[in-house]
Amino acid sequence: MLEFLQRIGGQVGAWFYLIAGGLAFAEAAVMVGLVLPGEIALLVAGFAAHQGWIGLWPMVAIAVGSAVLGDSVGYEVGRRLGPGLRASRVGRWVGEDRWRRAEGFLHRHGGKAVLLGRFTALLRALTPGMAGVVRMPYLRTFLPWNVAGAVIWGAGCVLLGYGFSASLTAVGRYLAYGPLVLIALALAGYLLLRRPRRPTT
């Protein structure tokens, strides 16, 4: 398993920058985060950086920049479409219940919702657009909280993947024995069930 990942990773190489950065951008810009959370790609990118396939700090910078830009695009879409965003085809696909949750969260926390929502896939995808719909001040409120959340989330996910790479590598060495263990357990269970029982006296 580990050798397979290393072989694939070596071939993908610099494409990690584009893939991980693209998903971090698209989470809020086009609400991809509702079906594919961007932190998965960033964790994998951190692993790739530890393996030497890409640079760690360039990946951190790309993750943060993509997250800031993606949320800003999501905000602008919400600002331009206004309440019509919820009535659009994508808005109907999201569902009214999800929109209500995002709206309630935004009203309860104000600008902090942009930062706090960064750590939940649903809110990360919807909060920027909803902030645009309610016309939250961009430069004074939205952007500072957006940047703060992107730094913590983007850099944190990449560094977390990087830090756990050694553990993942160690786990990967034992994955090859997984099928053998399962077969042994299944065989032991079968023999136990087939063992003739002594008649009770």
Question: How confident is the prediction along the chain (201 residues), in pLDDT tens digits per residue?
Answer: 456 555 666 667 778 899 999 999 998 888 887 778 888 889 889 988 988 889 999 999 999 999 999 999 999 999 998 888 888 887 888 888 888 888 899 989 989 999 999 988 888 889 999 999 999 999 999 999 999 999 999 999 999 989 887 665 555 555 445 444 555 656 666 566 665 555 555
Note the pTM of the prediction, 2 decimals: 0.76
Which CA distances in Å does 58 have to 14, 20, 25, 63, 70?
A: 11, 12, 16, 9, 18
Angle between helices 38-50 and 165-175 (to 10 degrees): 90
Nearest by Cα to 173 from 26, 6, 27, 47: 6
Q: What DSSP state is assigned to residue 154? A: I
